[in-house]
């Protein structure tokens, strides 16, 4: 089986490349390296069955013999997509369109990596797939939120018009090794601040919640969604139901690191969701999937990885791998 992974050099994409290779797939990793580098896939280069193509998915790509197309290509961190709002919208629009056409040409199964951000700042908790969300279409996060909502609509339209076999997975907060240290999201921020003994910055009062899924569990869910014959184009949530406040999360990371960092409270960010927790009933029933890694276990692995990066940086003149 041959799979094309757009955004394959990114955090989630690189882990998916490894999983599919382990499952015996031939993997074509496509990435323009806008928000990633080759460091995350360096150990895969030259490996049998792995191919890397530097390419912008907004430009048509002609490749044959593909069985699966995974679209993970988009800036995903608020820091990155707010710096590149137009790129983010067009990547999720034109880029998704070009990949869908590629899937049609190959009669391939298509999986869109969507996001919990389509729910916006939810008024329903936890969030089931049937919930339409509460999104500000002109806010600072709208380029990503609305870009993914459009990508979902486009994927659904291709399914209906071309009878394309499609999957839409709404990914909730995910963490683990190979996240960029400058990613700007809560886990890299807290872990790096704790390791350096710097104040751990909390935006708002610390009572906003997140449900964090370890990367190994997440990519296993993507794989099951892709190969399953028991689901259709209707979206499916993949994420953890272990909901924690940001204050709880900061204190847990502080304890696991053994850090003396203080907590520093800053004004809340614009349009940041107050609560985030998936209803994963459909994933459990249709895929037999649920997270297997506890937050404490996953954080221990992630902290060790960031700690090693920090040691490498201190020993060399190189910057952190991105």
Interval 161-216: pLDDT, tens: 999 999 999 999 999 999 998 888 999 999 999 999 999 999 999 999 999 999 99
Model confidence pLDDT, tens digit, residues 233-282: 899 999 999 999 999 999 999 999 999 999 999 999 898 899 999 999 99
Beta strands 236-238 and 200-203 are unpaired
Give the span between the Cα atoms of 86 and 94, in whole angstroms.
11
Which pLDDT band holds residue 315 (cuts at 50, 70, 90)?
very low
Does residue 144 carry a catalytic annotation? yes
Say if pTM beats, i.e. exceeds, 0.85.
Answer: yes
Model confidence pLDDT, tens digit, residues 48-64: 999 999 999 999 999 99
Q: Which of 102, 97, 87, 92 is nearest to 53 (CA)?
A: 102
Q: How many residues does the chain have?
A: 322
Catalytic residue among 144, 203, 223, 320: 144
Instruction: Go through the domains of the chain in sequence order and give each one's CATH number.
Output: 2-174+213-238 (3.40.50.720), 186-210+241-276+293-315 (3.90.25.10)
Q: Which two tokens stand for residue 266?
A: 């800053």
Q: Which two tokens stand for residue 179?
A: 């996240």
Taking each continuous run of H as one helix and of E as one strand, the counts in the chain are 10, 13
Beta strands 236-238 and 213-214 are unpaired
Please list, in sequence order, all residues whose beta carbon lies within 8 angstroms of the beta carbon of residue 152, skipping any fewer than 6 positions away: 112, 114, 118, 168, 235
Dihedral angle of Cα 18, 22, 26, 31, to the nearest 10 degrees: -10
- What's 320's DSSP letter? P
Q: Which of 188, 167, 253, 174 is nearest to 217 (CA)?
A: 174
Q: Cite the beta strand spans of 204-272 per DSSP E.
A: 209-211, 213-214, 236-238, 243-245, 263-266
- What's 95's DSSP letter? I
Radius of gyration of the chain from Cα atoms? 19
């Amino acid at each position: 089986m041959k799979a094309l992974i757009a955004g394959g050099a990114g955090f989630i994409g690189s882990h998916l490349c490894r999983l599919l290779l382990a499952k015996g797939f031939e993997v074509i990793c496509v990435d323009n390296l806008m928000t990633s580098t080759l460091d995350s896939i360096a150990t895969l280069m030259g490996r049998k069955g792995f191919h890397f193509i530097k390419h912008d998915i907004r430009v048509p790509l002609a490749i044959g013999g593909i069985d699966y197309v995974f679209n993970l290509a988009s800036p995903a961190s608020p820091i990155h997509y707010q710096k590149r709002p137009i790129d983010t919208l067009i990547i999720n629009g034109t880029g998704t369109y070009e990949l869908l056409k590629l899937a049609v040409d190959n009669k391939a199964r298509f999986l869109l990596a969507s996001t919990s951000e389509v729910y916006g700042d939810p008024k329903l908790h936890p969030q089931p797939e049937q919930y339409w969300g509460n999104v500000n279409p002109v806010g600072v996060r709208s380029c990503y939120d609305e870009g993914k909502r459009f990508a979902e609509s486009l994927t659904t339209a291709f399914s209906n018009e071309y009878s394309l076999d499609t999957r839409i997975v709404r990914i909730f907060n995910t963490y683990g090794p190979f996240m960029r240290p400058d990613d700007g999201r809560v886990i890299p921020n807290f872990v790096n601040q704790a390791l350096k003994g710097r104040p751990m910055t909390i935006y708002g009062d610390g009572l906003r919640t997140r449900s964090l899924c370890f990367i190994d569990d997440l990519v296993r869910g993507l794989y099951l969604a892709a190969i399953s014959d028991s689901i259709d184009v209707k979206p499916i949530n993949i994420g953890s139901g272990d909901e924690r406040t940001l204050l709880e999360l900061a204190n847990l990371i502080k304890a696991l690191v053994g850090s003396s960092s203080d907590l520093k409270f800053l004004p809340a960010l614009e349009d940041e969701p107050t609560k985030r927790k998936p209803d994963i009933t459909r994933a459990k029933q249709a895929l037999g999937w649920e997270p297997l890694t506890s937050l404490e276990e996953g954080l221990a692995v992630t902290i060790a990885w960031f700690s090693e990066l920090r040691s490498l940086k201190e020993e060399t003149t190189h910057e952190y791998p991105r």
